[in-house]
Structure formats: C-alpha cells, structure tokens
Structure 1
Amino acid sequence: MTETARPMRRQEIREQNERLILQAAEKVFAEAGFGGATMQLIADMAGLPKANLHYYFTTKEDLYRRVVQEIFEIWLHAADAMDHAEDPAQGIAAYIDAKMEISRQHPHGSKVWASEVMHGAPVIQDYLETTLRDWTEGRVAVINRWIADGRMAPVDPRHLLYMLWATTQHYADFGHQIETLNGGRALTDQQWSDAKQSVKDIVLRGIGAL
C-alpha cells in the first residue's frame, strides 16, 4: 500500500509561491528593467494569477526591493569566510569562489542590481548609504589588518574590493558576451572551475598573497 503524500501546509504554500514570484520577478526585472516590468508580466512568468502577486507584494516597488535585497544579502554572506580567515590567501580566495558561484546561480539578480546602480540607484539608494557602506568599512578593516600583519602588499582596500566586485559579477552581468566568446555555449563545470582558479591566481599574486 503506497503512502499518501501529506498535503502542503499553509506556510509551505506561502513559501513556495513567494519563491516562484521572486524567481520570475528577478528575470523580468533583469530583462525589462523596473520601468518596463509589470506585475502582469511577472505573474505570467510565475504561472500565478496577478491577484496572488498583490497578496504577497502590495506594489511593484515592494517586489523590486525584495529582489534587490535578496541578491544583496546573498552577496553579504559571501564574505563570511573572509571575515574569519587568518590571511588573504584563504579569505579572498573563498570570497572569489563564493561571488563567482553566485554569478553562476543568480545571474538575473546581479543584472537587476547593476542596472539599478547604473541608473543612480533611485529605489535602493538607502541600501548603498547604510548597509553597503557599513559592510564595506568592515571589509576594509579586515584587509588593513592583513596589510599591517605583512600578509599582503599595501594596496587601497576599497579599490581592491571594487575590482573583486567588477571581476566576479562580470560573469553574470556580461554572461551573454562570455557565452558568445565561448562559441555560443554556456561555460561548463570545468570552465567555471578554471575561471575561478584563474581569477584567484591573478588577484592573489597581484597583492603579494601567494
């Protein structure tokens, strides 16, 4: 006698619907931008009635901010290993690995963030002025500690962070260009692994951490 699957609880249904909506919104916002995206387009992409979107997210701006917040928090957590590492060879390498994997798994979220910032951050300026600024100051302190300990060359921590962001997020924001130069094919698992190693070698040798 086969066991009957238990019905989904209300909280599980809510979480599943929210995830469907966020995944669809991430793609629509990445392709159409905030101005071009509509709740109807996102509902169609998610395969849900438009009324469901308004049940979970009252306005398009609420949904947009949630999409931006999600990718932002994923990026913030990527630096956890960096905070507790004894040296840059370990910490920055782990950060590069994590950031490039995020570009692989969440390319649309990265594009939404990039487009928002390139347009002057009209919706998320408060994130930049508070959470991002505080996060950056914390990472600057970590890098300065490694420099003071003689574990890496004396470089400007902010410019190092900007370079890391630009390099790792390039694989999401310019994914189409990379695929075109790869013969029209997405990078394979091995190519992703090779790319991560190349970026780590270039950065770590450049800052004297290897």
Structure 2
Amino acid sequence: MQPDSPGSVYQSCTFRRFGCLRCEAPRVCLEHEPYETGIRIARLAFGNHTMNAVAASLPACVVVVMGVSGSGKTLVATLLAERLDSEFADADAFHSAASLHKLRSGNPLTDRDRGPWLRALAAWIDAVCSEGKRGVLACSALKRSYRETLTAGRDGVRLVYLKGDAELIARRMKQRHGHFMPSALLQSQLDTLEEPQADENPIVVSIDTDPGEIVAEIIAELEK
C-alpha cells in the first residue's frame, strides 16, 4: 500500500506529523526511529481501538511472532497484543543471566543454552491457554526444532514469520542503542534461521512496511 492510497495509515496526520526525523519519510521509519517512538506513533494511529470481538473468534490461543533480531518482533508483537487485547510476552525476558551475558559478549547461544529457555516459553504458552486467555509471544524461534518445542501438541499456537532482507535488518540493528544483542550476531542468526515451511502453517509477512500495516495484515490472516 502506497503512502497516499485510500485507507492507508499514512493518510493519518499522526504519521505525517511524527514521520522519521532523519530521512523525513511521512511514516514510521524503523531504520531510523527507536523502538519506543515506533510504538508511540503506531499507538496514536490506532488510538485505543482493540478488537475484542475479533480476538474472541480467532482459533489461535497464542500467536508467536518470530524472526531474526532486528526484524521488529517486539514492536509488532506488542501492537498485535494491544489490538487483540491479549497477554504479551517477550522471549528475551526468559533468558537466564548467563545467556544474556553470553549474547552481550558477542557469542551466539548453543542449543543446550536454549533448552531451558524454550521450555520456559512453552510453559508460558500452556499457562495462557489453560487459563482461557490469549497471548502474543515475541520470539526468534529460528530453528524448526525450537518451534516444535513451542507448538508440539498445542493446536492453538500460530506462527507469524517476519521476513526481511538481511541488508535492511542490518541497517535497523545498527540504529538500535542499548539492546543486549549486538549487530555482529546478525549473520549468526541468519545462518541459524530455518524458515518455517508450509506444513507449519505460518503467516509470512514482509517487514518492508510500517508496523500498522504489518499488524493489519496479520489480523486479516488470523481471521481466515
């Protein structure tokens, strides 16, 4: 959707007033603006509108928003959870202190490192579903085996894969400040990534657009 096309969120004065301050794009520019600004702008564009009726009708109990670091998982998952009035969790918060230290030092995690982390995430999913709630989880879920830990025996879990060009993601990561994941680890994540296949029933969304459009596309796919 182009900036001035009918129905585009770009038509909102919010986007024109708070467009990227570095490249003057009349949109949320994830290459330049920090995460908090992207959240603020998208919230202003959406207002306080949630979709409780839609959320109640969705077959998915938990939506896992996955992708490599820098793809916008936390931003998109946060906004999606707000739109669907659902619980939100960031998988980064489930890492052990030792794993976080390892990542900050520029060392990728091993499958052994990720085991307890994935089991903790699966427990969170089970808790949300067993309590009759709905949730959105931002999680890299790079390998199929990782995703199977989260989805095996859980029909109510749906994957959303944020797919993007490596060069675009690298530019975004270089603009981030204070994040524990150094941009130097991007190539390691790309090498580890096993894109979800058709039998995993993923929703695949391009990140080369603004968060509002991404969230709207995800919701439209969830409703099908």
Give the helix-richer structure, 1 or 2: 1
Q: Which has the higher contact order (CA 8 A, sep 6+)?
A: 2
Give the strand-richer structure, 1 or 2: 2
**Quick check: which has more Rg, 1 or 2?**
1
Provide the TM-score with structure 1 as the length reference.
Answer: 0.28
